[in-house]
Amino acid sequence: MPTPHQPPPPDTAVDVRDMLVAHQAFRREFRLAPAAVERAADGDRRQVRKVAKHLRLLIRLLDHHHTGEDRLLWPKLHQRVPDRLDALVTSMEHQHEELHALLTAVSEQLTVWVAHGGTEARDRLADTLRLLSRALDEHLDDEEDQILPLAARHLEVDEWQELERDGIGALPKTRAALAFGMLMYEGDPEVVSLMLGRAPAPARLLMPRLAPRAYARHARRIHGTPTPETHPAADSGLEAVARRVYTDLWNDRRYDVADDLFHPDFASPAAPGLTGGAAKLAAIRGYHAAFPDLNVTIDQLIASAGQVAVRWTITGTDTGGLRGRPPTGRTVTTWGVDFLEFEDGRIIRDWVGTDWLGTLVQLGVISSPWAKPAPGSVHS
């Protein structure tokens, strides 16, 4: 996350740092949103509803944040520094239009996902949330760089705090502790203390204890941890490379991009003597020959320090024969986990775990060890 731009010193300007705290929370939550969507397994309707409720809260808070600025900030700046502001209007209006379009798309796609589920709806929503996060980062950067310094020098303290009170007043009472917990999670403690000092007495007393707990519980449900990362992962580019292995190579059969994804020194035990993209393609082509309609769905993807873990589900019909066996004509659905290690932005090693037992049972190659014995059969 970009470091917030610092306004002029408080002794010469209105202290606008509370806005930076709000921006921090928006950046973090919208950056984490795509992963929260992808973490909800297909068919887990309860988790889908939890994530949907979370996203609708974020959209509501961001919408009020912008409408509050439209009502209480922009008109005053237009009146006091029109020459400075007019040059920014076109850029800001364009950003607002883009954000509005993306928020509308998220709301529509969210409705479809909640109503019908499915990996396609889930992945489309996650992709749109990534676009929204990038657009929001750009907008907030510009606002901090160009608008907040003007507000700090040309608004009175009471005028600025009216904007803060408007935002706090819009919080749903049942979600106030959670919303304040979002602000407190990585907010500047000094600024948070000042904000609490302006709150009603009950909030001043209760929020320091209730808000962090509320956010920790919520983050565990939505993000899978009570302490989500506060900065963008440096490996976001590695996530994109990992995704392309499944979308471009496995699903779209774009074999020509393999060398873009795999390091020249990549080697696979499935293809002794080959390196780089060719080593991985040897295995992929074999599965495509056995299952011509093969399709892979990414169920979960986690990146950390030069590595990416991917949990996936694969479906295909055995019309080509797997590893020299006669084709069975059966459709198989199985799962697996890949651990990918990167060097210079490309995959140099992978470890693959697959449910081979389940696959062979579905193909009829072996009997299920969990099948009930036939009546009258004898077992030792």
Arch. (CATH architecture) of 236-363: Roll (3.10)
Comparing C-alpha atoms, which of 94, 182, 200 is closest to residue 139?
94
pTM: 0.62
| Residue 291 tokens, joined | 């299952």
Q: For 17-223, which CATH class?
A: mainly alpha
Domain ranges of the chain: 17-223, 236-363
Pairing of strands 295-304, 346-354: unpaired
Residue identified by tokens 């697996």 is 336
Give 188: exposed, middle or buried? Use CB within 10 Å, 0-12, 13-18, 19+.
middle
* HSE-CB of 194 using CA atoms within 13 angstroms: 13
Task: Answer yes or no: are the C-beta atoms of 251 and 296 closer than 8 Å.
Answer: yes
Q: Return the half-sphere exposure (C-beta side, CA atoms, 13 A cut-off) of residue 312.
A: 24
pLDDT of amino acid 356: 86
The span from the CA of 149 to the CA of 56, in Å, is 31
pLDDT of 375 reads 61
Question: 3-class SS at 134?
Answer: helix
CA dist 228 and 219 (Å) reads 7
What are phi and psi for residue 16, nearest 5 degrees? -105, 15
pLDDT computed for residue 39 by the predictor: 85
Contact 263, 2 (CB under 8 A): no
Which of 236, 76, 65 lies closest to 139, judged by CA? 65
- List the pLDDT tens digit at each of the 380 positions of the chain: 444 444 444 455 799 999 999 999 999 999 999 989 988 887 889 999 999 999 999 999 999 888 888 899 988 988 888 887 776 766 777 787 889 899 999 999 999 999 998 888 998 999 899 989 989 998 999 899 889 999 999 999 999 999 888 887 777 788 899 999 999 999 999 999 999 898 888 888 999 999 999 999 999 999 888 888 766 554 457 888 898 999 889 999 999 999 999 999 999 887 888 999 999 999 999 999 999 999 999 888 888 778 999 999 999 999 998 888 899 999 999 999 999 999 888 999 999 999 988 888 998 888 877 766 656 555 44
